[in-house]
């Protein structure tokens, strides 16, 4: 797991991720399966083992920042990681005792869990 602190307009925030950048497509471009043709929000992301590696540049950006190119750089987190990456969480406010659960993409991830 990787953790980096960034700053937002409201102060310091944490970006926490699983560090699997090679599998990060971005929340708007990760391959998915539509489950209800009448509800565009009813879908599931495909699991990691159903996909190959993600493109180095999935074509999505937050402000002027895209997916980091150097996956090994501990300071790699940027706006794309905080707002677009499906493998990360943007945590605010920061509380040392706060427990968070990262998205588990080893299985299909349903947008509407009750289904």
Is-cis flag, bond preceding 93, omega within 30? yes
What does the DSSP 8-state code read for residue 23?
Answer: G
Closest listed residue to residue 85, CA positions, set 4, 10, 30:
30
Phi, psi of 56 (to 5 degrees): -60, -35
User: Per-residue pLDDT for the chain (115 aa), expressed as one digit of tens each?
Assistant: 444 444 444 566 778 888 899 999 999 999 999 999 999 999 999 999 999 999 999 999 998 999 999 888 878 888 899 889 999 987 776 666 667 788 899 999 999 977 5
Where do the DSSP E strands lie in 1-115? 2-8, 11-17, 32-34, 43-45, 88-91, 109-110
pTM over 0.75: yes
3-state secondary structure of 43: strand
Closest listed residue to residue 87, CA positions, set 61, 72, 106, 112:
106
User: What does the pLDDT read at residue 99?
Assistant: 73
């Amino acid at each position: 797991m990787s953790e980096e602190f960034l700053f937002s307009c409201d102060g310091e925030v944490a970006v926490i991720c699983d560090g699997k950048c090679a599998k990060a497509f971005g929340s708007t471009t990760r391959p998915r399966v539509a489950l209800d043709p009448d509800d565009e929000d009813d879908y599931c992301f495909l699991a990691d083992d159903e996909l190959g590696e993600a493109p180095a540049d999935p074509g999505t950006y937050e402000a002027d920042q895209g997916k980091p190119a150097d996956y090994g750089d501990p300071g790699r987190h940027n706006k794309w990681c905080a707002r677009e990456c499906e493998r990360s969480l943007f945590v605010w406010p920061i509380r040392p005792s706060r427990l968070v659960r990262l998205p588990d993409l080893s299985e299909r991830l349903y947008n509407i869990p009750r289904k």
